[in-house]
Structure 1
Amino acid sequence: MKKYKGIIFDLDGTLLNTVYDLADSVNEVLTHMGFPCHDEEEYKLKIGHGFRNLIEVSLPEDQRTEENIEKGLDMFVKAYDQKYKNRTVPYNGIPELMEQLHDRHICFAVNSNKRMDYTNALVDKFFSHLPFTAVFGEREGVPKKPDPASALEIAGMMGLKPEEILYIGDSSTDMATGKNAGMDTVGVAWGFRGREELEASGGTYIVDRPEEILDII
């Protein structure tokens, strides 16, 4: 089996379970606007394309006007700013995995469609002692995943070829991002989307537990 020298991780649904704080924040917005709320499990299918998209797909279909989206987005950011560290935690086995990667001198980075400030704040909260090559969230002027721009930028920062890097995430968007960047992919079945979506999207590997990633590298 080929060896990999670097890893790029998605954040939400891959390293951290963020669904509860996101769900609480969006439901607060929907309640304030007089619209029905969604179950926490439903949000797993809504997360991953940025905050604006999250608000849009959470609104009733006949209420997705520009005015409502902008109003909801503004309210969401204020709510999430108060809640984003309340119930968010690393998945079981992730802290140990990150320590092992560090001990094995594997480069690692985060590439998320989450807003940059929250991406950095959450990585700093849980992994501040680890030397990430880069922690990228949504950046102005840089296309979101599945565009490979950020992944390839990280590869350059690592000084590695794309084929030397594993791209790891929980969704078809992540699998497409890795493929678009010329990287082998690992789909994590513990995340928001599950094994079926990962298999359908053609992940190079699919794992059920973080420690299985060590076997791949």
Structure 2
Amino acid sequence: MINIYCMKLLAIFDFDGTIFNSVDDVFICFNKALRHHNFPTLTKDEFYKVLGGNIDEMVSLILKDQNTPENMELIKDTYGRLYNESSKENSLPFPNIHDVLRQLQDKGMFIAINSNRKNDSINYFVDKYFNDIDFAAIEGHNPAYPSKPSPCGVEIIMEKLNVSKKDAIYIGDSSTDVRTAQNAEIDCIIVKWGYGNQDVWKNDYIIGTVESPCEILNYF
């Protein structure tokens, strides 16, 4: 059967939860920062519920009714220092995702990243684990632009690469990713190995879900 998605030219990947399994180190450092300033710590399930936004949005949700500007800066600064100093030994690419990226590259696809993680942090992991992958564009969190689910990052990527909406596809794991793709008016597939849940997998907007990285290739 002919694959109706074979004409896609651009694959835009979310980073955390899609390409990279980073949640444990982020979770550990956030709890250390909260404990240091005598705020309640989070369970893993509680932490999953605040994922998807940029650092400011995450800290605001974590602190709840104590999310004053002063408290937010305290936690952000302490978390940032702890995370930068950490070994990040638990942060690794998801199994087989590297091979899929290489196969897409070999097919001549544009591969890009759109994330609410800061660019310098994305580049750190890309340089360490994906130095053979030629990412055509990386658009992380930039305070000068709105974060996901704004389509801003996706639109910058498509404009830079001169790719139309119909030729792009967004690959992510969360409801934020679905809304980002919807706001950008491009197709979206959702991976099941990330930090999303069944509500995301059943979203009417997505064109499909994948159980393993190799299944991504079926859409090209």
When the two structures are aligned, how many residues end up with a matched partner? 216
- 1:44 paired with 2:36, answer no
User: Where do 4+ consecutive residues of structure 1 move more than 3 Å?
Assistant: none
- Secondary structure of 2:11 counterpart: strand
TM-score, structure 1 length as denominator? 0.93
C-alpha distance after superposition, 1:102-122 (max 9, x if no partner): 111111000101122112212
- 1:143 paired with 2:135, answer no
- 1:200 paired with 2:203, answer yes
Q: CA deviation at 1:207?
A: 1.1
Instruction: State the AA in 2 paired with 1:169.
Output: G
- Secondary structure of 1:211 counterpart: helix
Alignment of 1:1-217 (within 5 A): 1-3=4-6, 4-59=8-63, 61-83=64-86, 85-200=88-203, 202-217=205-220
Check whether the contact 2:59–2:76 (CA below 8 A) recurs between aligned residues. Answer: yes
Give, in whole Å, the separation in 2 of the partners of 1:13 and 1:123: 15
Instruction: State the AA in 2 paired with 1:14.
Output: T
Q: CA deviation at 1:56?
A: 2.0
Unaligned runs of 5+ in 2: none
Q: CA deviation at 1:36?
A: 2.4
Greater mean deviation of Cα atoms: 103-112 or 47-56: 47-56
Give, in whole Å, the separation in 2 of the partners of 1:22 and 1:110: 19
Q: CA deviation at 1:198?
A: 3.2
- Secondary structure of 2:213 counterpart: coil
- Secondary structure of 1:143 counterpart: coil
- Secondary structure of 1:105 counterpart: coil
- Percent same amino acid at aligned positions? 32
- Secondary structure of 1:185 counterpart: strand
Greater mean deviation of Cα atoms: 150-159 or 22-31: 150-159
Give, in whole Å, the separation in 2 of the partners of 1:35 and 1:124: 35
Check whether the contact 2:182–2:205 (CA below 8 A) recurs between aligned residues. Answer: no
C-alpha distance after superposition, 1:156-199 (max 9, x if no partner): 22221111111011111111111211210011111111232232
Check whether the contact 1:19–1:40 (CA below 8 A) recurs between aligned residues. Answer: no
C-alpha distance after superposition, 1:25-60 (max 9, x if no partner): 10001110112222234322212211122222222x
C-alpha distance 44-133 of structure 1, shift in aligned 2 (>3 A): same
Unaligned runs of 5+ in 1: none
Q: CA deviation at 1:86?
A: 2.2
